[in-house]
Amino acid sequence: MKKVLAWTVLLVLVLVIVIPILVIGGFHGEPRQGGSAKMAKGDHIIIKVYFHEQQKIVEMKLEEYLKGVVAAEMPAEFELEALKAQAVAARTYAVKNMTAFGGSGLAEQPGADVSTDYKQGQAWINEEALKKRWGSNYEKFWDKISQAVEETSGEVATYNGEFIQAVYHSTSGEKTASAKEVWGFDYPYLQSVPCTWDHKSPRYYDKKEFSFAQVEQLLGPETQVVAAMQNNSSGAMAILNTTESGRVGQIRIGSKVFSGAEVREKLDLRSNNFNVELKDNKIVVNTIGYGHGVGLCQYGANGMAKEGMDYRQIITKYYTGVALKNINAY
């Protein structure tokens, strides 16, 4: 009789105390940091997206929005781990701006978190446009993009517990640039780091030739480029200094000194990692890389993935000292 009573008490304890603890722990334990984590909260996070072409704000599930960003920002032919790194960067960038997470939203469009206009943030493309772009590869590529987003579900890059400014670019060259040398703001996680994996980028090298008159027209008549070049004035065209990553800091062209960023914009160069030379009465500009050069290098990420590195290694390479966390922890 005592044995029966003891077993009865034990069964009650299991049913009333132990099992509920296990069930509660399964739903409210520590958020998973990687893999294909699927959490109810994360699956229902809503982001307010400004569709710039239609000029309207649309509410979307964050993870579905990210598929359109990754598809627009990185070639689907890239390695899966590179696409995962892009997904984490894109998610971090979006969440950093979301008012629901304390972000400031889109200043140009009150009520929106982000825009589909790449000039205001991240590019985005819908499935119909992707069907036209990818043709017969649509299903394969869309599944791959979806896999990259879903297998990093909820993951963001943080520094000291805060979402980072997860900027990225196409091709960096030998080194990425620091945020300070490009924009004047210093972030500990946006430092210049070596990049040796993007040499196969089709945008790695570019050359442009300009007549003296073209350069004067683009940079302004006050530069007096034509007169300076025709008179063979000493120092009429010279790079005065370079940044930490080897990009042009200041350059004299004609009678005026410009920043490398100014020349890049005015001459429509791929980056401000360039050199200039005179050849056959023309100014030849040789450029390395594509984009501002700060943060994640997309072709570098693909090169790292080809060498067997995963998205966590890629993220922590280009964003110095960051940690990957899940937004469900916030």
Beta-sheet strand order (sheet of 256-259): 237-242, 248-253, 256-259
Q: How far, CA to CA in Å, does 291 sit from each of 50, 157, 168, 251, 295?
A: 24, 21, 8, 19, 11
Residue 139 corresponds to which amino acid?
E
Q: What is the pLDDT of residues 304-316, one digit of tens each?
A: 999 999 999 999 9
Listed by start position, the domains of the chain span 40-199+292-329, 205-288
Q: With b meaning 16 or more CB within 10 Å and e meaning fewer, what string describes 20-39?
A: eeeeeeeeeeebeebeebeb
For residue 206, pLDDT over 80 is answered with yes
Q: What is the pLDDT of residue 70?
A: 98
For residue 16, pLDDT over 80 is answered with no
Q: What is the pLDDT of residue 9?
A: 39
Residues making up the chain, counted from first to last: 330
Max CA distance (Å), the chain: 114
Q: How far, CA to CA in Å, does 131 sit from each of 70, 72, 86, 256, 298?
A: 15, 13, 21, 49, 23
Q: Which of 226, 220, 257, 260 is nearest to 243 (CA)?
A: 260
Other residues' Cβ atoms within 10 Å of the Cβ of residue 176: 30
Q: Is the dihedral of CA 302, 303, 306, 310 positive or negative?
A: negative
Q: With b meaning 16 or more CB within 10 Å and e meaning fewer, what string describes 56-79?
A: ebeebebbebbbbbbbbbbebebb
For residue 45, pLDDT over 50 is answered with yes
Q: What is the pLDDT of residues 224-273, one digit of tens each?
A: 988 888 777 656 789 999 999 999 999 999 989 999 999 999 999 999 99
Q: What is the pLDDT of residue 236?
A: 79
Q: What is the pLDDT of residue 21?
A: 30
pTM, rounded to two decimals: 0.83
Between 34 and 137, the higher pLDDT residue: 137
23 Cβ neighbours under 8 A, 6+ residues apart: none
Structure tokens at 142: 């869309």
Structure tokens at 267: 């001459």
73-92 mean pLDDT: 98
Q: What is the pLDDT of residues 166-203, one digit of tens each?
A: 999 999 999 999 999 999 999 999 999 999 999 999 99
For residue 133, pLDDT over 90 is answered with yes
Q: What is the pLDDT of residue 274?
A: 97
DSSP 99: G
For residue 34, pLDDT over 90 is answered with no
Q: What are phi and psi of 11, to 5 degrees?
A: -65, -40
